[in-house]
Chain A
Amino acid sequence: MQVARETTGGVAPPAAASQTGARRVRTLIGATPGERAVTALGLVTGVCMLVTIWAILVAAPVDVVQGMPFRIFYFHVPVAWVTFLAFFIVFVASVAYLWRRDERWDWMARAAAEVGTIFTTVTLITGSLWGRTIWGTWWTWDPRLTTTLILWFIYVGYLMLRSYTGRTASGARTAAVLGIVGFVDVPIDYLSVTWWRSLHPPTTYVQSGLPASAAGTLMFSLFTFTLLFSLLLVLAYQLQRVQTGAEKLRGQAEG
């Protein structure tokens, strides 16, 4: 519409200039309501993340015994929460895909698995750093750590499976089955590792009863990381959609 007016009219430089400016804004914030929503989500996430980082590094209280490294806790717990949220989404989307056979569910499962695997990795790293400072060791076969590690293996396997099968319906079904079986495996893993470790002295955890400001920071951090996850999920989903579309076009062109 704009382009047409510009080329046919072409006489009024000020109007054209303002329209170029409008277009620039449009490419920045997105042309459709959906794109604008993603931009808005991105902006909100960015602002919240800045606030969260300030709160964690400056405002939040520090555990008397653990000192500064306790601040990792405010990152670690939200990231771990997002990990489990992501794999729950993989599970739900996989069930929905097998049931409805709608490839959008498959994109959702794959997007959640990709983002979730990154968050799992961060969970393991932050957990390890924190563990080093409070337990004096990088790694311990604590049920939560062990289960998270197994989870990581399962979903890296999931992504490998996806890359080996390509974008076929049978690949999507196979991955959906893995997404379901893998998720069901999580509580079983946790249970068996807990009982397995029951022979050993229990590990101490963060004591209950955080002060109000600490709880507030944690809650806000949880909120922010959930926002970040949603943003990444939406982007990864859109990428899946675009890639599938591109492959289909290529297939049609070649086929």
Chain B
Amino acid sequence: MSSIARVERDGVLSPSPSPLRQGGEREHLTAENAEDAERRGVDHPSPSGRGVPARALAVEVVKLTRAFGPKPVLRGVDLALEQGERLALFGANGAGKTTLLRVLATLARPDAGTARVGGLDVAREADAVRRIVGYVGHQPHIYEELTVRENLRFFARMYGVRDAAGRAEALIARMGLAARAGDRARTLSRGLLQRLALARGIVQEPDVLLLDEPETGLDAQAFGLLRDLVEERAVAGRTTIFTTHAAERGLELASVVAVLARGRITYAGPAAGLDAAALRTILDDSAGTGRGR
């Protein structure tokens, strides 16, 4: 069950045999995206079809724009991702990576365009989206005065997990937090806090997990936990999207790669066959295009 994505000319990621290809997706083809595709050498090969049954895309973003005040941050993002993919989202600071994740997590509303998660609209069906999305941002989004265990139990309850206490214990064991489970979150080191944040992000076993620069502050052992988590999720058909600056670590985790520059997706392709050097060339290239406008 290898998850290989095929990149179409319109910058949409999806495995080749997908009924959606013939459907509405084509209309998102724009001159600019066609240019991008040309520059990076047209279609990437699709070594194997996954034989995934037709179902909602994990993430489907169409012409998404979002500004903060007068400053446009996302300027028309198009992105489609099959379930079970592991997407590494690269891009310079201020490219809009965090904003894109916040839109998918329903923390920021789109100004225009649509974003769907598991077929659900983030603006109109926000509550349903929240149930299937996990989000780990720059902030750990935990309560500092509560213990590790209390935090996880609280969030499990908020997500309506039936056995909240049991779920909390499983997550504590899973993230290697057992020794500190009774300590207040405030007393945790940065790395342990990040583990707790990760545990909070997957408290309801989300179909789509959004991680904003998850590898920062993680030691080698914790990074291993993260990698195992992401891979297990992929095997189970669950999607993970993460932003990152680290080319090597990002490629290690990812099945597909996308680059966001100045509020647009400027590159999208499978991670297989990309090495860090090639990726850096693409990144520099995107940054250049973005600046030139």
A168 touches B72 (CB 8 A): no
Q: Would you give the shortest CB distance from B66 to chain A, in whole angstroms?
A: 10
A247 interfacial contact with B, CB 8 Å: yes
Q: Mark A165-203, 1 if CB is under 8 A from B, else 0.
A: 011110100000000000000000000000000000000
A13 interfacial contact with B, CB 8 Å: no
A250 interfacial contact with B, CB 8 Å: yes
* Minimal Cβ-Cβ distance residue in B for A244: B70
B111 touches A247 (CB 8 A): no
B70 touches A251 (CB 8 A): yes
A255 touches B69 (CB 8 A): no
Interface of B is mostly: loop
Residues on B with C-beta less than 8 A from A166 are: 69
Residues on A with C-beta less than 8 A from B111 are: 169
Interface size range on A against B: 10 to 19
CA distance A106 to B71 in the complex (A): 18
B67 interfacial contact with A, CB 8 Å: yes
Name the residue in B68, B70, B109, B111 with the highest tally of chain A Cβ atoms < 10 Å from its Cβ.
Answer: B70
* Minimal Cβ-Cβ distance residue in A for B66: A169
Name the residue in A166, A171, A247, A255 with the highest tally of chain B Cβ atoms < 10 Å from its Cβ.
Answer: A255
Q: Restricting to B257-288, which residues have a CB under 8 Å from any CB of A? A: 262-263
Q: How many residues from B make CB contacts under 8 Å with A?
A: 11
Interface of A is mostly: helix
Partner of B71 from the list A169, A171, A244, A251 (CB cut-off 8 Å) is A251
B120 interfacial contact with A, CB 8 Å: no
B73 interfacial contact with A, CB 8 Å: yes
Name the residue in B67, B69, B111 with the highest tally of chain A Cβ atoms < 10 Å from its Cβ.
Answer: B69
A102 interfacial contact with B, CB 8 Å: no
Q: Restricting to A204-255, which residues have a CB under 8 Å from any CB of B? A: 244, 247-248, 250-252, 254-255
* Minimal Cβ-Cβ distance residue in A for B94: A255
CA distance A252 to B73 in the complex (A): 9
Residues on A with C-beta less than 8 A from B68 are: 168
Q: Mark B175-203, 1 if CB is under 8 A from A, else 0.
A: 00000000000000000000000000000
* Minimal Cβ-Cβ distance residue in B for A166: B69
Residues on A with C-beta less than 8 A from B109 are: 169
Q: Would you give the shortest CB distance from A252 to chain B, in whole angstroms?
A: 6
CA distance A251 to B70 in the complex (A): 5
CA distance A3 to B70 in the complex (A): 34
Q: Restricting to A133-176, which residues have a CB under 8 Å from any CB of B? A: 166-169, 171
Residues on B with C-beta less than 8 A from A248 are: 70
Residues on B with C-beta less than 8 A from A244 are: 70
Partner of B73 from the list A167, A247, A254, A255 (CB cut-off 8 Å) is A255
Residues on A with C-beta less than 8 A from B263 are: 255
Residues on B with C-beta less than 8 A from A171 are: 69
Q: Would you give the shortest CB distance from A250 to chain B, in whole angstroms?
A: 6
B69 touches A252 (CB 8 A): no
Q: Would you give the shortest CB distance from B266 to chain A, in whole angstroms?
A: 16
Q: Would you give the shortest CB distance from A94 to chain B, in whole angstroms?
A: 19
Residues on B with C-beta less than 8 A from A168 are: 68-69
* Minimal Cβ-Cβ distance residue in A for B68: A168
Q: Mark B72-100, 1 if CB is under 8 A from A, else 0.
A: 11000000000000000000000000000
Residues on A with C-beta less than 8 A from B262 are: 255
Q: Would you give the shortest CB distance from B149 to chain A, in whole angstroms?
A: 34
Q: Would you give the shortest CB distance from B97 to chain A, in whole angstroms?
A: 15
* Minimal Cβ-Cβ distance residue in B for A247: B70
CA distance A208 to B131 in the complex (A): 65
Residues on B with C-beta less than 8 A from A250 are: 70
CA distance A135 to B206 in the complex (A): 71
Residues on A with C-beta less than 8 A from B67 are: 251
Q: Would you give the shortest CB distance from A35 to chain B, in whole angstroms?
A: 25
CA distance A254 to B109 in the complex (A): 23
* Minimal Cβ-Cβ distance residue in B for A167: B69
Q: Mark B95-111, 1 if CB is under 8 A from A, else 0.
A: 00000000000000101
CA distance A248 to B71 in the complex (A): 7
Residues on B with C-beta less than 8 A from A254 are: 71
CA distance A66 to B64 in the complex (A): 66
B72 touches A247 (CB 8 A): no
The 9 A-B pairs at the shortest CB distance, nearest first, are namely A251-B70, A247-B70, A251-B71, A168-B69, A255-B71, A248-B70, A166-B69, A167-B69, A255-B72
**A/B interface sample: 25 pairs, CB < 8 A:** A166-B69, A167-B69, A167-B70, A168-B68, A168-B69, A169-B109, A169-B111, A171-B69, A244-B70, A247-B69, A247-B70, A248-B70, A250-B70, A251-B67, A251-B69, A251-B70, A251-B71, A251-B72, A252-B72, A254-B71, A255-B71, A255-B72, A255-B73, A255-B262, A255-B263
Extra contacts, 14 of them, besides A166-B69, A251-B71 (Cβ < 8 A), are A167-B69, A167-B70, A168-B68, A169-B111, A171-B69, A244-B70, A247-B69, A248-B70, A251-B69, A251-B70, A252-B72, A255-B72, A255-B73, A255-B262
